[in-house]
Amino acid sequence: MVYSNPRIGRIEVVAGVMFSGKSEELIRRVRRAIIARRKVQVFKSHLDDRYSGLFQVASHDGRAVEAVPVDSSAQITRQVDPHADVIAIDEAQFLDADVVPLVTGLASGGVRVILAGTDTDFRGEPFGPMPQLMAVAEQVDKLHAICVVCGDLASRNQRLIEGKPARYDSPTIMVGGTEAYEARCRHCHRVPRKDEDQEVLFSGVGSGG
């Protein structure tokens, strides 16, 4: 598909942990583009229906914009308006690897592409296509939240199951909000291995042990 647009395209990635304001920043950029009378399309992963439902990108503070839910990069390709000036994609970590050549092609065709996503999973490891997207982007903004344990900058997503840290071998994808996740710093982040005791590990958070 050829995207005709005289403007110079680029890729912007807003990355970081949960509760760091990624979706809020994407929404802010989308709204500014709309004010500037750019033709904007917004897509999001179909896995995320929190806050405002499936057909909106919503931030934790209640701000929202209309969005098209997709479950693959191919769905975005089929639905992209060839006259779009700006394409925004939220929760990009849930998409397949083909999103990388897709957005690269869009940017080369003159489209401004804005992506937001969590760059590490609950284990603290690279999440989905986010590392590759950050590598090909012209602009990367990595946001931080506040660690709920010690108050330092949070760079990790702490998954909790019944109030305890999820084990390393838990499924990578589990959509949730404050009931299932906390923002934590490197020191307070806990991911028990199979041979570790969750109770002991959990009780040691914030104690320096």
Task: Write out the catalytic residue numbers.
Answer: 91
Cβ-Cβ contacts under 8 Å for 111 (sequence gap 6 or more): 3, 5, 7, 9, 84, 85, 86, 87
Cβ-Cβ contacts under 8 Å for 16 (sequence gap 6 or more): 22, 118, 119, 142, 143, 144, 145, 155
The Cα–Cα gap between 111 and 126 comes to: 26
Q: In what order do the strands lie in the sheet with 86-90?
A: 68-70, 40-45, 86-90, 112-117, 10-16, 139-143
Contact 36, 46 (CB under 8 A): no
Cβ-Cβ contacts under 8 Å for 84 (sequence gap 6 or more): 3, 5, 39, 40, 41, 111
Q: How far does Cα 160 stand from its chain's mean position? A: 19
**168 Rama class: left (phi>0) / alpha (psi -120 to 50) / beta:** alpha
